[in-house]
Amino acid sequence: MKFIVSSAALLKELQMLGGVINSTNTLPILDNFLFELNGNTLTLSASDLETTFSTRLVVESESNSSLALPARLLLDTLKTFPVQPLTFVKTDKNTVEISANNGKYAVAYVPGEEFPKAAQLTDAKTTTVQSSLMHTAINSTLFASGNDDLRPVMSGVFFQFSNSGLTFVATDAHKLVKYTRTDAVSEVASEFIMPKKPLQLLKGILQAVSDEISIQYNETNAQFAFGDSILTCRLIDGKYPNYEAVIPKENPNQMQVDRVNFLNSVRRVSIFANKTTHQIRLKIAGAALQISAEDFDYSNSAEERLECDYQGDDIQIGFNSRFLIEMLNNMDCNEVKLSMSLPNRAGILTPMDRTVEGEDITLLVMPVMLND
């Protein structure tokens, strides 16, 4: 095995794959990157058994071979090189010799046959999506997914594809985000739950990708293919909760307010809230919004007033400030609308501007009981 590759190109691809590798692995082979050489095409892969990520590079070579090299050692070494060609040669001493402009480095390898293969998708359905749409959908929903090991279905993002649009939903029972695009459709109706880790990988990568993404999926696995990269992952098994049932349909009390001012006020006032409940109170009457918090244990309290545009009955409603801050922070609009029905029903946040045609986003935050 012998090939020549640019140090910068190799580092870029390996850093992208590195997010798959866990800090502690049950199988030592998973601490490695798989190098598969087929003529002048080098395929690089990383896996944690649940998720496998592969990408291709063009190199100078005429060999066919495969082997696995230690990920951490390679990344740490490549980061220190200036941009230069590197020559990789397999030796008789069970090592790969890497030759740079001013040195040689020997790295022990593992035979490539020992590396676990990515799942092969049979009877798969396919949907094609713009990378910018997928990036926005993941960005808008992922933060709202849960971390409860006892409820694994809520630790991912629910994908619903149909011929009327694409819907992405995430919830942790305290907050919920539903992101819908009617300007993109799927010929086959289907739904599946994507785990958090592959979505976090895609979120970081898709920002710089302009290609369309081909998504293949069956009952157990999904595969995202874009450019020279393929990400395959196991889906979360289970039935997603009926999220439509928790979204209040009638919300006569509607407040419109500047998002940044609202976010900053909630941030400041929440500093004075109880450190266990993080409870803040919104009191809305006329064109005035009063945001307050009190920590009886330490006699701390805060109150701020904001101007708003409000239609509805006077209302007092309590929220966990952390959830409210998180949701306002993940919005990109200038003006936000908060729709409410009763103090014990969920509040719904919707952006009033900076959305694209065919895009609909609903952010729901559960209230907390106020201590009067």
Q: What is the pLDDT of residues 345-365, one digit of tens each?
A: 999 999 999 989 999 999 999
Q: How confident is the model at residue 62 (pLDDT cuts 50, 70, 90)?
A: confident
- Other beta carbons less than 10 A from residue 305's beta carbon: 12
Phi, psi dihedrals of residue 153, rounded to the nearest 5°: -60, -25
Measured distance CA(292)–CA(310) in Å, rounded: 18
| Tokens 């040195």 belong to residue | 103
Measured distance CA(308)–CA(323) in Å, rounded: 21
Query: Which regions of the chain carry the CATH code 3.10.150.10?
Result: 2-114, 125-244, 247-368
Measured distance CA(220)–CA(343) in Å, rounded: 41
CATH topology (fold) of 125-244: DNA Polymerase III; Chain A, domain 2 (3.10.150)
Cα-to-chain-centroid distance, residue 263: 22
Stretch 154-161: mean pLDDT, rounded? 97
CA dihedral of residues 328, 330, 336, 342 (deg, nearest 10): -50
Query: What is the per-residue pLDDT for 315?
Result: 96
Chosen CATH of 2-114 out of 3.10.150.10, 3.40.50.2300, 1.20.200.10, 3.10.290.10: 3.10.150.10
Q: How confident is the model at residue 149 (pLDDT cuts 50, 70, 90)?
A: confident
CB 263 within 8 A of CB 237: no
pLDDT cut 70: percent of the chain above it:
100
Measured distance CA(247)–CA(347) in Å, rounded: 9
Measured distance CA(247)–CA(224) in Å, rounded: 31
Q: Is the pLDDT of residue 153 over 90?
A: yes
Give CATH for domain 247-368. Answer: 3.10.150.10
Q: Is the pLDDT of residue 372 over 70?
A: no
Beta strands across the sheet bearing 175-181: 190-194, 157-162, 165-171, 175-181, 359-365, 347-351, 335-340, 253-258, 309-311
